[in-house]
A and B are shown apart, each in its own frame.
Chain A
Amino acid sequence: MRAVVFDGVVLGLQFGLLGVGLTLVYGLAGVLNLAYGQLAVLGAVVAALRIDAGAPTIAAVLTGLAAAGAVALALDLTLMRPVYRRRGEDRVLLGLLLMLGVAFIIDGVLVWRYPIEALTLRIGGDPVDVLGTRMRTGSLLASAIALGVGAVLVVFLRYATAGKAVRSVIQDEEGAQLCGVSPARVRAFVFALSGVLAALVAVTRSMTSPVTVNAGIDFTILALIVAVVGGLGSVSGAFLAGVLLGVVNTVSAHYIGTYVTTIVLLGAAAVTIVLRPSGLLGAGRE
């Protein structure tokens, strides 16, 4: 039982990390980034290509992260401009549709150029004992990265000046502008950050199982569910939701098995939303 729960936590931290990037961009810019999973895969493919070309793993991974971040930044500076000129539901809808188009384009380019590319990072070393359960080094490293990044993000948002600027724009765009915070700059920063985070998820995922070219849509849907269950705009909420869903997932996979697990997972997500309509740690607004 303990091993199953541990596996669930490991998976859940990945879910959480996945949700964070999406949740920040939505909370901040009101854009539901439907190309989020595609950005993740893009980063993974770039990293895999660099590794194929003989680059050291760390450098290849960093290149992958930078590539995803750069594409996200470029999207914010070009395509999202007309979106930001709108408010409320108009903005959400247009942003969602444009990002859907972007998702198709990235998917199309990747599947066309690199149909069989996949990123697998082999983390060597023997399984490590954690509280009497043997864990693979790969999953431990992945969890450590997820936890570390989560902690850095929380601290950054709470204490750093730039982080406070981000939170102020999430709370009230016009108010922040009146206080001298430039929403456009904050948005560009967070958009790029979300691209990097997306690629980071693909990288940590590849430590336990290969990330293939067509994994984008699954990443996006999972990220959406995690972000919404956790409360849009809340970093710790995303991690909490991720761990909750991760544990539900592995426990049900272990005891019930097969296809029912997905249904249990989705059911858990739906029930959480119905019980807490603004998400676990949501601020009570959409």
Chain B
Amino acid sequence: MPRAATVGRAGTPAVRAYAPIVVTGALAALLPLRYGDSRAMMGVVIGGVLFAAYTIGFNVIFGSTGQLFLCTGALAGLGGYGSAILSDRHGIPMVLSMVLASLAAAVAGGLLSWVAVSRSLGVIFTGIVTLAFSLSFENLLLGKRDLTGGETGLVVAAGSDTFLGEQVAPFYVFLGLVVAYLAVYRALQRSHLGWAFRALREDEIAAELAGVDVKRYRVVAGTLGSGMIGLAGALYAHSEGFISPRTFSFGEVDVLVIVMLAFGGIGSLLGPVVGAAVYTVLEEWIDSFDEYRLIIYGSVILVLFLTLPRGVVPTVLAFVGRLRRWWRARRPRAPAAPPPIATITPR
């Protein structure tokens, strides 16, 4: 299991811990300067930011506590369809409907997590149970035609005459969401929860012996991450104005989210953002290959994971760390201290 970035540990000054988030947010905020004129390109950019949000939510669940949730799409769909139906059919205010639908996603994720934890299901088994939930949800969307519009999809009207219907404004809403999620993730890493998560990931039995309530932390992570995914899905439904089962299907969401997180770096702060960004750029490029795009797509996945099996962010951080040690070693502080008798490598 790849190690998390050490900067996130409790004890590093807050400025240093949160600086990467501010920098990422500021850089991303410049994107509309270049792409703001084109509705199509803004759609692509917003898609990338949306997936960054999904992937951070998934990272809270899988990266932090090792629960393989193969239902990111379904949880987002619960948020999206839930919020759309509540606001359009039942006249509930849009913001309230999004809150309620995200809560529903959080409860669903929490329940799945609780079942997995209380039956102590392993990684693969958790994966299959959540996959079953995912496929069932997709079938339910297709079957409950009168409520969801079935295969044809559902037009979501509530957001269209607010600023969510504009070209650039929704981008900043999603960016705000991603920055908030990143802040939540970092705060988690720095809190006692983060310590518990790390302990639990390094060695579950040792963590439990040291008094970490493994089960409770897993369920907390499952609930929180699912709520985050649900909220992102709800927001997308209103900004896009149209959703269909494909929008939230396993193949269209979960596969991408896993590839993005694994490529960016599991359990790292910026991994989801890097993964989503690289993936979005690559996908634009690959789409131009038309008929053999699937082949290129598969080959790119192979090359990426063969060259960077630990993910981009952990690899870069390890490299920077080595560079920094080398730099320090090159300039010994005068006068040279006597060599230590025994060296204890800090972990």
With contact pairs A260-B143, A267-B136 given, residues A100 and B125 touching in the complex (Cβ less than 8 Å): no
Check if A232 is an interface residue, CB within 8 A of chain B.
Answer: yes
Check if B121 is an interface residue, CB within 8 A of chain A.
Answer: yes
| Interface size range on A against B | 35 or more
With contact pairs A89-B123, A98-B305 given, residues A266 and B135 touching in the complex (Cβ less than 8 Å): yes
Chain B contributes a number of interface residues (CB within 8 A of A) equal to: 42
| Pairwise interchain contact B295-A100, C-beta atoms closer than 8 A | no
Check if A247 is an interface residue, CB within 8 A of chain B.
Answer: no
| Pairwise interchain contact A286-B129, C-beta atoms closer than 8 A | no
Q: Which residues of B contact A262 (CB under 8 A)?
A: 135-136, 139
| Pairwise interchain contact A225-B124, C-beta atoms closer than 8 A | no
Q: Which residues of B contact A274 (CB under 8 A)?
A: 115, 119, 121, 129
- In the assembled complex, the CB of B287 is this many whole angstroms from the nearest CB of chain A, namely 13
- In the assembled complex, the CB of B251 is this many whole angstroms from the nearest CB of chain A, namely 7
Within 8 A of B (CB), among A96-137: 97-98, 100-109, 111-112
Q: Which residues of B contact A112 (CB under 8 A)?
A: 291-292, 294-295
Check if A59 is an interface residue, CB within 8 A of chain B.
Answer: no
Check if B122 is an interface residue, CB within 8 A of chain A.
Answer: yes
Check if A54 is an interface residue, CB within 8 A of chain B.
Answer: no
Q: Which residues of B contact A13 (CB under 8 A)?
A: none
Within 8 A of A (CB), among B288-307: 291-302, 305-306
Check if A174 is an interface residue, CB within 8 A of chain B.
Answer: no
Within 8 A of B (CB), among A255-272: 258-260, 262-263, 266-267, 269-270
Check if A221 is an interface residue, CB within 8 A of chain B.
Answer: yes
Check if A228 is an interface residue, CB within 8 A of chain B.
Answer: yes
| Pairwise interchain contact A100-B259, C-beta atoms closer than 8 A | yes
Name which residue of chain B comes closest to A97, CB basis: B305
Within 8 A of A (CB), among B172-223: none
Chain A to chain B contacts (Cβ below 8 Å), 5 pairs: A104-B297, A105-B295, A107-B298, A108-B295, A263-B140
Q: In the A-B complex, list the 10 residue pairs whose CB atoms are closest, starting with the nearest.
A: A108-B294, A104-B298, A101-B301, A105-B298, A108-B295, A259-B143, A286-B122, A266-B132, A101-B302, A270-B132
